[in-house]
Structure 1
Amino acid sequence: MTNERITGLIIKHLEGQLTEAEENELEGWMNQSEHNRQIAEEFLDDNKLKEGLQDVLSKKTVWARLEQETGETKVIPMQGKWSRWVAAAAIVLLMGAGVFYMKFRQTQSNTPIAIEKPKKQNDVAPPHSVDAVIILSNGQKIILDSAGNGTMAMQESVNVVKLADGQIAYNGTSHEMVYNTLVNPRGSKVVSLTLSDGTKVWLNNESSLHYPIAFAGGERMVEVSGEAYFEVAHDASKPFLVKKGDMQVQVLGTHFNVNAFEDESHIKVTLLQGSVKVKNKNSTQLLMPGQQAQLNKKGQIQLDKDADVEQVMAWKNGLFNFSSLPIQSIMHQISRWYDVEVVYEGKISTEHFSGIVSRNDNISEVLKMMQLAGIKFKIEAKRIVVMQ
């Protein structure tokens, strides 16, 4: 019986949801050896796990401890109904014990690898400010972190306002198509703004949004680079369009995420609510909630009908969610957030890794996950060396 199956049975037992057949299956596994029984009973008799299941227990915690006992090597999946539990437990583990189990490699002693925490001078802290810049139509730049609250600029009859919580809002109307650009660089916190029609946009770092100060005419169009999450204000008379190169997302009113980083192999549009139409020169794809359109460099659109929405939205929720990702994709996210250079020494691992960690942690805590999986790192100021 696989660790995944054992994990599922143990958790269902703690929830009181085991069927009779599953009870027999779990009992049969326990009877195979005294070792199996000891492992299972450690969880089944743990009152703390029973009382705080939703906050403390997850598939990851059970599986990680099973791997520690058995020495088996697994990559822990975090999809479907388990993902919320994994996120909660991962945060608990990080804040409590300071250890996050991603994947164990079998060692001679079958014990977890001990990782020495890097010295402070070799660590990199997460972003502590919003370093985004608004470029006005006349070329003037407004640095948001140093701008005071209230009206920062007036263009036509539109005020550009910085609210008390740091959000940006455009208030007013204009008959002219005057454009601004919001640029959020590497190493900056997520920035949010409200467009003149009431549409809300959250912009990840190393991303930009080009938009009119007010929407005139029969459509609302913006251009994005990098990653942005949209909550579009409904207006049946004016479709909302998001462009990136030849790709266009068309909506009336909905919630969706666009991931269009230049260093990624696909542009990804993920729908959370409503409906959107993704199209380019070659094809058109209609999305339903929970689905993702993936546009490759050749202009082909593929549909993922069961997208991992929590993984997609982790950046907005203050998390890294690495759900079965290759090392290069993980390091892309890390380099943007911490504004570091990443270089590789030796052969680049082809394995996929999974794990969840707060984006408010220092970079050493994030790297620690992959160190436990056998990947080695050196932190050299703002340079991360990945060694196999």
Structure 2
Amino acid sequence: MSLSMMKDFEQLFDGWVAGTLTKEEAVVFLEELGRSENDFSGKTDQLLQDVFISSKGNDVLRERLFRSISERKALQEKPVRRLWKFPLKWAAAAVLILVAGAAAWWLNAGKEKEKDPVVLVDNNIRPVPGGDKAILTLSNGEKILLDSSVTGQLAEQQGALVIKAGDGQIIYQTQGQKESTAAKIAWNTLSTPRGGQYRLNLPDGTQVWLNAASSITYPTRFTEKERTVSITGEAYFEVAKQSSANGKTPFRVKVAGLTGKEKEMDITVLGTHFNVNAYADEPVARATLLEGSIKLKKGEEQFLLHPGQQAQLENDGAFRISADINAEEVLAWKNGFFYFHRTGLQTVMRQIARWYDVEIVYQAGVPDMKFGGEIPRNANLEQVLRILQESKLRFMVDGKKIIVIP
């Protein structure tokens, strides 16, 4: 059986909602929803609208369909740019996947009632997506919450004004002092909590984006000899070029928070764009060069990276350089997306845990599986889990805890 006219699709849709389709007809309907060459998103929108207006079909199914459409509407500000890749090779947009999930539930409803793949424990606690929030720790220990502070001048640190701009980022403005004594230079730390991210302009004009559960420690004024910062977690840098009488001033990034001497990593650059992912709970620390060149030091060894290369340092000290890195994958977090490409379940869940500030618990028997695709980071947690559950996993959300069920 195949579809040649929209009228046929409408008839199948009406039959599906009314519960009168044969198993063969329902299979054809699901196949058509999954065809990437057909744009059924707008058509299903209209058909579902008609269903809701005329109150046709099963009430429970209609409720599930309405939830699917509502979830898609919530994602319109940042639509899914890449279609989620499933084991069944469906290439439908997220809303169609959710609708198809409801259809699959309907097909099996006559046999046994399927368990809801995402169970929300009713305790009035619902994890939400992260946002722009951080804590600025001044040299005297004073802490400033950046998600609630007003714009304008926040503090003065050894001749440098700390300013929060209208777009939320932190900017340092020096007032002309040229002291070179290290003791007179104040050090600040900008740290993001789980569920936070932030953007910072360093005193030399270098721009830094911090991902969730990350930090950067830096001086409020750089000297002519060296520009050094220390980071934990994940950060993206666009380093400003700086010259002095002695030539170009190098910019150095120390990667902190990694245990063991074999995990020490220093990065030296003159002017470049690069990303460092060095969470202590990840099995591999990665430094990815996107533009320019960087010199990476591991122990006594030094390596020169070129654009498109990524240095990978594993927990046991094993080190390698990979080429032809996907820049879109590396910068997805900065651009507002989760990006997965053959990514293991626990890696996926660690990203979710950091962004939604939740704890992940695995029940016995959860398989090691891979995922691929993009999901907007502004999606609510239930939406994300309902997409992941197409892998046949189930999830229970109990306050700030997600339980993964095989």
8 Å contact 1:197–1:215 — kept in the other structure?
A: yes
Classify 1:145/1:58 alpha carbon distance in 2 versus 1 (closer, same or farther; 3 Å): closer
CA distance in 1, matches of 2:237, 2:375: 24
Greater gyration radius? 2
Match for 2:397 among 370, 379, 382? 379
Classify 1:265/1:100 alpha carbon distance in 2 versus 1 (closer, same or farther; 3 Å): farther
Gaps of 5+ in 2: 1-26, 42-78, 109-113, 257-263
8 Å contact 2:117–2:386 — kept in the other structure?
A: no
Corresponding residue SS for 2:98: coil
Corresponding residue SS for 2:321: strand
Match for 1:337 among 345, 352, 355? 355
The corresponding residue for 2:129 is 126
Q: Deviations over 1:37-57 (max 9, x none)?
A: xx89x96985889xxxxxx99
1:363 is displaced (CA, Å) by 0.7
Alignment of 1:93-242 (within 5 A): 93-94=93-94, 96-97=95-96, 99=98, 121=124, 123-130=126-133, 132-172=134-174, 173=177, 175=179, 176-188=184-196, 190-236=197-243, 237-242=248-253
CA RMSD of aligned residues (A): 3.4
Q: Deviations over 1:193-247 (max 9, x none)?
A: 1001000000011000010001114111100000000000012521001011421
Q: Deviations over 1:15-74 (max 9, x none)?
A: xxxxxxxxxxxxxxxxxxxx9xxx89x96985889xxxxxx999857x76xxxxxxxx45
Q: Counterpart amino acid of 2:98? A: V
CA distance in 2, matches of 1:139, 1:269: 30
Classify 1:348/1:282 alpha carbon distance in 2 versus 1 (closer, same or farther; 3 Å): farther
Identity rate, percent: 39
The TM-score normalised by the length of structure 2 is 0.69
CA distance in 2, matches of 1:196, 1:174: 13
Alignment of 1:258-337 (within 5 A): 258-337=276-355
Alignment of 1:80-99 (within 5 A): 93-94=93-94, 96-97=95-96, 99=98
1:154 is displaced (CA, Å) by 0.5
Match for 1:244 among 249, 255, 267? 255
Q: Counterpart amino acid of 2:194? A: R
Q: Deviations over 1:173-204 (max 9, x none)?
A: 5633321000101022x200100100000001
Corresponding residue SS for 1:99: helix
Q: Counterpart amino acid of 1:330? A: V
The corresponding residue for 1:355 is 373
8 Å contact 1:255–1:272 — kept in the other structure?
A: yes
CA distance in 2, matches of 1:364, 1:47: 26
8 Å contact 1:115–1:372 — kept in the other structure?
A: no
Classify 1:248/1:100 alpha carbon distance in 2 versus 1 (closer, same or farther; 3 Å): farther
CA distance in 2, matches of 1:297, 1:48: 47
CA distance in 1, matches of 2:280, 2:89: 28
8 Å contact 2:199–2:209 — kept in the other structure?
A: yes
Q: Counterpart amino acid of 1:209? A: I
Corresponding residue SS for 2:348: helix
Q: Deviations over 1:335-376 (max 9, x none)?
A: 000000111111232221112111101111111122111111
The corresponding residue for 1:365 is 383
Q: Counterpart amino acid of 1:339? A: D
Q: Count residues in correspondence.
A: 314
Gaps of 5+ in 1: 1-34, 50-55, 65-72, 77-85
Classify 1:174/1:372 alpha carbon distance in 2 versus 1 (closer, same or farther; 3 Å): farther
Classify 1:98/1:257 alpha carbon distance in 2 versus 1 (closer, same or farther; 3 Å): same
The TM-score normalised by the length of structure 1 is 0.72
